[in-house]
């Protein structure tokens, strides 16, 4: 449909394939893995502080106080749309929870030996810092008022605590963090938004129009990044606006790449989530990675986070860490078994 846009889409895909390959290769180094995860969490923390300060100013629609986009009604932090901001935080928040849980476990082990003296050790300082960071991310997510982001995060945190960690203590900590978040941020605007504007009203019109295009490009699709070109020919709602995205990355994959591409990409996502679940059952950080990937995948059923470069790059890097960790673990096991007599 649009060779130039498809060329840009292919360049986008190739660049992220290289990023993924680098993440897989370097994931064997545990220190590097932790540095990447910490960078994702720290970036989310800084963005949240910027967003909260920006929202309190007289010009909340001006990004960094310098630039006002044409459509400034949904600006939050450095993102033009609050849903895209939330799409990043749904990945950063489970990772922060995982780092916090690891530090608490380290603190608990020290308590059995040093008792009250443990609170003067470095793990105690790290635990306090991570508590502040995690709570800030949760406050930022609720303040963004992204219904899809909040729903995806709640489901991901339930997976993290109840399915993977299976700890009553972790469940209690999560409940307390959620209670503190609600205490800091009034959830009523989000509740009102859910009651007034349902997903059937805000998302189904996009999906309905997009699905009308599927029979015309059944096998190989319209081409990477081509939906913005063909959407005006199928739009029946929001006709005063140009709809460049379906607001569901899975439907857009079906349109852009057809049945062949959708099956291939669906298979890759299934392999990723299976590997992430396996890693999540082995380490706390692996559980955080699984929850982050699952939350982003869930949120993208109602958004297009994988078309936002910063969010897509973060997802790809985390996917590379997850699959690379599993690969390096299998290689280590094979090496040990090979040395046995």
Q: pLDDT tens digits for 112-142? A: 877 877 788 888 889 899 999 999 999 999 9
Looking at residue 63, its pLDDT comes to 93
**Runs of H (alpha helix) within the chain:** 3-26, 30-55, 82-114, 122-143, 147-158, 168-184, 188-196, 199-202, 204-211, 227-230, 249-280, 284-299, 309-339
> How large is the average pLDDT for residues 16-41?
90
Tokens of 134: 């995690």
Looking at residue 314, its pLDDT comes to 97
From 170, 40, 146, select the one nearest 93 (Cα to Cα): 40
Tens-digit pLDDT profile for residues 255-267 = 999 999 999 999 9
pTM of the complete model beyond 0.85: yes
Which residues, in sequence order, are CB contacts of 65 under 8 Å at separation 6+? 54, 57, 59
Q: Residue 52: phi, psi to the nearest 5?
A: -70, -40
Q: Does the pLDDT at position 73 exceed 80?
A: yes
Q: Does the pLDDT at position 163 exceed 80?
A: no
């Amino acid at each position: 449909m649009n060779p130039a846009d498809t060329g840009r889409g292919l360049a986008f895909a190739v660049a992220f394939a290289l990023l993924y390959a680098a993440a897989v290769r370097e994931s064997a180094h545990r220190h590097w893995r932790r540095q990447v995860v910490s960078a994702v969490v720290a970036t989310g923390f800084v963005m949240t502080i910027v967003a909260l300060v920006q929202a309190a100013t007289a010009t909340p629609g001006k990004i960094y106080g310098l630039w006002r986009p044409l459509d400034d009604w949904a600006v939050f932090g450095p993102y033009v749309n609050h849903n895209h901001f939330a799409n990043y935080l749904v990945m950063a928040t489970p990772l922060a929870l995982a780092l916090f849980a690891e530090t608490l476990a380290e603190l608990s082990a020290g308590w059995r030996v040093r008792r009250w003296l443990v609170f003067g050790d470095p793990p105690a300082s790290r635990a306090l810092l991570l508590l502040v960071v995690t709570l800030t991310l949760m406050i930022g997510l609720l303040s963004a008022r992204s219904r899809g982001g909040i729903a995806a995060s709640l489901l991901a945190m339930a997976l993290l605590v109840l399915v993977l960690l299976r700890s009553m203590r972790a469940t209690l900590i999560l409940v307390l963090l959620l209670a503190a978040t609600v205490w800091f941020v009034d959830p009523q605007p989000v509740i009102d938004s859910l009651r007034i504007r349902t997903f059937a009203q805000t998302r189904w019109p996009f999906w309905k129009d997009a699905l009308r295009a599927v029979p015309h490009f059944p096998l190989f699709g319209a081409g990477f990044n081509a939906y913005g070109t063909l959407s005006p020919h199928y739009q029946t709602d929001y006709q005063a606006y140009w709809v460049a995205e379906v607001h569901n990355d899975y439907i857009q994959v079906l349109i852009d790449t057809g049945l062949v591409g959708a099956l291939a990409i669906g298979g890759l996502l299934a392999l990723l989530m299976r590997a992430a679940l396996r890693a999540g059952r082995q380490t706390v950080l692996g559980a955080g990675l699984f929850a982050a990937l699952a939350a982003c995948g869930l949120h993208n059923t109602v958004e297009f986070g994988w078309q936002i470069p910063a969010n897509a790059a973060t997802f790809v890097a985390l996917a590379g860490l997850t699959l690379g960790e599993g690969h390096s673990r299998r290689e280590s096991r094979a090496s040990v078994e090979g040395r046995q007599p």
